[in-house]
Amino acid sequence: MPEYQLSVIIADSSNRVTRKTYISQDLTDFPAAITAAAALVTDLKAISEGECLSQTLSQRSVLSDSAEAGANVDEGATFVLRKADNYNASHKVPMPLAAIRNTDGTIDITAATVTDYFDNFMSAGDWTVSDGEVITSLLGGTLDK
């Protein structure tokens, strides 16, 4: 059975927030998880004085992958993107491939792995950045210091 995680953000009367997370491994599919999550949030609202602000339901999947030799969690790259509203946004990627690093500390934004990744956030992609916008161009990238 898949594992589902429900995260609920709850605020008190002073507008301080907390997160309560629930995990289920007994649900058969996502529609069943949606129904179970709605029932649990309803019951949480009935037992708590807090205000339920939002809920996030996700399905956890185990991936088969391995770190490349020399991968270091302390390394990162920051990319500058142009959004559809003509404002810039920054986007961080952990442990960038050595093959996309330039000797001057910049990232090769023309590399296929870089353009393939950021195509996910372009207008034809399935994801958004920053405040829910798509990007129109990739302006640059540098290694984090």
Q: Which pLDDT score, from 0 to 100, does residue 68 have?
A: 86
Q: Residue 56 is inside which H or E element, if any?
A: strand 51-60
Residue pair 133/85 in contact by the 8 Å Cβ criterion: yes
What residue segments make up the domains of the chain, in order of their start?
Answer: 3-60, 76-143
Which single residue is written with the structure tokens 């023309």?
A: 110
Nearest to 9 by CA among 21, 19, 22, 23: 19
Residue pair 128/134 in contact by the 8 Å Cβ criterion: yes
Question: pTM higher than 0.75 for the full model?
Answer: no
- Residue 66 in 3-state DSSP? coil
pLDDT tens for residues 22-70?
999 888 999 999 999 999 999 999 999 999 999 999 998 888 889 888 8
Tell me which amino acid residue 57 is: L
Alpha helical stretches, state H, the chain: 30-47, 112-119
Nearest to 114 by CA among 132, 89, 141: 141
